[in-house]
Amino acid sequence: MHRAVPQGDQTAEVSLERLHYGKLASGATLSVPAAAGYGVTLRSHNLQASDDRLLSPPRLMALRRFEPDLVDPAARRRGAFLARVSPEPDSRRAIFLRARFRPEDGEDGHGRLYQQSAVWSVAASDWRRHPAALLAMAGSELEALPDLASEAECVRFSAAPARYVVRMLDPQDVWGALEDALDKSHWAAPTLEFLARGAETGEDATLTYGADDFASEAAFLRAVGLALQFLPASYPRWREICVVSGLRHESQGLCLRYLPSLRAAARTSVAA
Amino acid sequence: MTERLSICLIGPKKGGKSSLLASLVDCVAQSAFGYSPRLRPALQPVTESEFYAEGVEPKKADLLMVEQGDYERLRRDFAEGGVATDTLDTYEYRFRLTVNGEAPPAVVLRGPWLLEIIDSAGEIAVPPDGAEVAILNDVKAKLAKQMLDSEAIILVLPLVRLEDSGWSGNLSRLIDRLALAPEKKLKRLVVVFSQYERLFARFGPSAFTYACDPAVALHVLRKSLRAVQWLDRLRALETPNGGVSVRFTVCSAYGFVKRFQNPNIDPHQPGERRFRRAGLEGARAYNEYWRPFLTAEPFLYAALGHDSAFTFSYAQLDARMEESA
Ligand SMILES: Nc1nc2c(ncn2[C@@H]2O[C@H](COP(=O)(O)OP(=O)(O)OP(=O)(O)O)[C@@H](O)[C@H]2O)c(=O)[nH]1
Ligand SMILES: [Mg+2]
């Protein structure tokens, strides 16, 4: 556990609750033993079993059912990614989700596929304050890996929440970086315009970026993080913002999306 | 007159429920069943709104139309090696069934039938014995209600992996609960052993000939059921006041290779896959060789209550058992 130690820059500590849904695995390639079935395999101790329903992947993705063909082919290995305020009314939490389909007979196997996902839950106010840092962190560290069959249940269900220290960004620096992006990149203007128009119209919309816009999910999350960090505290539709990568499904609300196998000319802004 | 009925697929995980359903429409289309070909059944996926609409007209066959329905997806997943059904919900697939040919008047005068077939993860209804499986309460409750509201249940069990049946205790308990439930609508229950083609792996091109003999299937069923502790529990459903007709059958979603007649498992592919035509993508790659085997049987019996050469009653199983005793 880290402590928040201000060192020149202002920092803050963010606490992440964790939940895994999938199957237990074992061995070097993490294959699923015959006895292992679907279930919540890890739940940090501040989450209740009654939260499982609220944190179920299809619900967070606003889907009836999560299916393999909804994952962008170029995102199959790590899975789709999603960040948003949890959909229940007046929710006080934001969630980050990584979900994928992996073979039951191990990482490079050829067998039947099953669904494996990992969720982080943070205070909605932390997401509001630190979108850039949280997107960067979740993008790099949130993995849909199965838990080990060898690990005792009492350990998996009493896991401590993860704690991270994030640096408070100076609004001046954020604006500086964004100004720079407005000059040198393609994404900054359309993204800010999309968010501004979303606030005006109040309609559901999705802005999709592809491989020509960003070389990687990490680059996309960095860009979107910067844009969200720039939004004023009074931005009216913050709770409806949804950041998505690798998912071929349009969420509700205001959705900023990256599809790594999408090529030029296909980029669209769609009102759902 | 249009008749709507619900059928629940139940059985342990990895038992073959989703594969059975995924191969159903192809099996009917290829007449790869043990009913008389003159029955000429036709089966077509329909949407939820078509299912609930009043007078349902058959859709015009449009070969160019790209079907993006749930069933199409299930078929594609099956072609790509299968997906373990998740435990976050239960999943309904809907079909329109007609019988166009010769059938006993009791069958012909009814119909068309609108079938709602419910697939779910094996962990929900038949979890592994001793394992504390945490399933969302509302999903468990939904499936329990669907089972009670179903006119038929199809119990899918893997034929050759029966030895690691670490679920038979829970299956017995499920059958007991069903037998005791007073409010159930259940009329028919079919026990189907999946992956039947595996038994004939060493028979090469003779495999299909043996598999097509109902006497072989009856023998296999008797042998498989001999040591099964839930068999007598199931009988309680059928007793005069139980009111359920129980049938036993076998099937194979992979089936046997067209023309070559050997079991349809390609030894040269990693994993356990069907033979496929090189250079083609998706389901089309399999079509040249794929003929499923009897996967229509459980559904047609569940819907029509009409026996095929491969559906066996307790009376048929018992007759031979007495003979050999
Ligand atoms: N050899 C052979 N294998 C089959 C056949 N049908 C299904 N399988 C395999 O058996 C495994 C399980 O099949 P599923 O249809 O996914 O089983 P299920 O009962 O739906 O399982 P859950 O969704 O986990 O409850 C898959 O890996 C299939 O490829 C068959 O006819 N022959
Ligand atoms: Mg299944």
Residue B177 has pLDDT above 60, yes or no: yes
Separation in Å, CA B227 to CA A133, A228, B162, B220, B222: 61, 64, 10, 13, 10
Task: Please identify among residues 7-46 of chain B the ones whose CB lies closer than 8 Å to any CB of chain A.
Answer: 13-14
Specify the CATH number for B3-324; select among 3.40.50.1700, 3.40.50.720, 3.30.70.580, 3.40.50.300. 3.40.50.300
Q: How far apart are CA B97 and CA B103, in angstroms?
A: 14
With a CB cutoff of 8 Å and minimum separation 6, the contacts of A162 are: A15, A16, A18, A44, A120
Residue A272: pLDDT band with limits 50, 70, 90: very low
Q: Is residue A86 part of a domain?
A: yes
Helix or strand (DSSP H, E) at B37: none
Distance from CA of B70 to the nearest CA of A (A): 10
Give the pLDDT band of residue A97 (cuts 50, 70, 90).
very high
Nearest-neighbour CA in chain B from A67: distance (Å): 9
Q: How far is the CA of A114 from the centre of ligand 2 (A)?
A: 10
DSSP chain A: ------BSB-EEEEEEEEEEEE--BBTTTTBPPTT--SEEEEE-TTS-GGGTTTT-HHHHTT-SS--GGGB-GGGTTT-EEEEEE-SSTT--EEEEEEEEEEETT-TT--S-EEEEEEEEEEEHHHHHH-HHHHHHHHHHH---PPPBTTS-HHHHTSPPPEEEEEEPPPHHHHHHHHHHHHHH-SSHHHHHHHHHHHHHH---EEEEE-TTT-SSHHHHHHHHHHHHHHS-TT-TTGGGEEEEESB-SPPSSEEEEE-TT--TT---EEE-
Closest CA to A195 of A134, A130, A254, A125: A254
Is pLDDT at B110 greater than 90 in this prediction?
no
- Chain A residues in contact with B80 by the CB 8 A cut-off are 68, 113
Q: Which residues of A4-36 are buried (b: 16+ CB within 10 A; e: fewer)?
A: eeeeeeebeebbbbbbbbbbbbbeeebbbeebb
Does the distance separating the beta carbons of B122 and A111 come in below 8 Å?
Answer: no
The Cα–Cα gap between B100 and B181 comes to 36
Q: What are the pLDDT digits (tens) for B260-269?
A: 999 999 888 8
- Give tens-digit pLDDT for A107-131: 999 999 999 999 999 999 999 999 9
Our separate counts of H helices and E strands in chain B read 14, 9
Q: Which residue has the tokens 């939260």?
A: A51
Of B146, B125, B148, B318, the residue nearest B218 (C-alpha): B318
Q: Tokens standing for B116?
A: 């709602």
| Residues B238 and B246: beta-carbon distance below 8 Å | yes
What Rg do the C-alpha atoms of chain A give, in angstroms?
A: 19
Partners of A104 on chain B (C-beta within 8 Å) are: 84
- Report the range of poorest mean pLDDT among A60-74, B98-112, B114-128, B248-262: B98-112
Residue A45 Cβ inside 6 Å of ligand 1? The answer reads no
Residue A46 is encoded by which pair of tokens? 């501040």
A269 pLDDT more than 80 = no
Q: What total number of domains does chain A contain? A: 1
Residues of chain A in contact with residue B164, where contact means CB-CB under 8 angstroms, are 34
> How far is A216 from chain B, CA to nearest CA, in Å?
27
Which of B8, B9, B10, B14 gets mutated to test ligand 1 (max ligand atoms within 8 A of its CB)? B14
The domain locations on chain B are 3-324
Question: Which pLDDT tens digit goes with each residue over B276-311?
Answer: 888 888 778 888 899 999 999 999 999 999 999 999
Residues of A in contact with B86 (CB under 8 A): 38, 65-66, 114-115
B-chain residues near A69 (CB < 8 A)? 73, 76
Mean of all residue pLDDT scores within chain A: 91
Query: What DSSP letter does each residue of A78-135 carry, written as one string?
Result: T-EEEEEE-SSTT--EEEEEEEEEEETT-TT--S-EEEEEEEEEEEHHHHHH-HHHHH
* CB-CB under 8 Å, B273 with A38: no
The mean predicted confidence, pLDDT, of chain B is 88
Instruction: Return the number of CB contacts < 8 Å for A and B.
Output: 83
Contact, B159 vs B198, CB < 8 A? yes
The predicted model gives A187-195 an average pLDDT of: 96
Residue B74 to residues B21, B82, B286, B319, Cα–Cα distance (Å)? 8, 8, 15, 39
Does residue B127's CB lie within 6 angstroms of at least one atom of ligand 1?
no
Q: Strand pairing partners for A43?
A: A19
Measure B251 CA to ligand 1 centroid, in angstroms.
12
Hey, whose CA ends up nearest to atom 1 of ligand 1?
B195
How high is the ipTM of this complex?
Answer: 0.90
Q: How far is CA B269 from each of CA A1, A109, B161, rounded to the nearest angstrom? A: 48, 12, 21
B166: pLDDT strictly greater than 90:
no
Average pLDDT of the segment spanning A22-27? 96
Q: How many CB atoms lie within 10 A of CB A154?
A: 7
Residue B46 sits at the vertex; the CA angle it makes with B105 and A57, to the nearest 5 degrees, is: 135
- Judge whether A220 lies within some domain: yes
Query: Could you list the residue range(s) of the whole structural domain that residue A16 is in?
Result: 7-270
Both tokens of residue A223?
């860009």
Q: Using the predicted structure, report yes or no on whether residue B240 has a pLDDT greater than 80.
A: no
Helix (H) or strand (E) holding B312, with range, is: none
B155 lines ligand 1 (CB under 6 A): no
Chain-chain contact of A68 with B77 (C-beta, under 8 angstroms):
yes
User: Which tens digit of pLDDT belongs to each residue from A145-171?
Assistant: 999 999 998 899 998 999 999 988 888
Give the closest residue (by CA) to ligand 1 atom 21: B14
B84 and A52 in contact by Cβ < 8 A? no
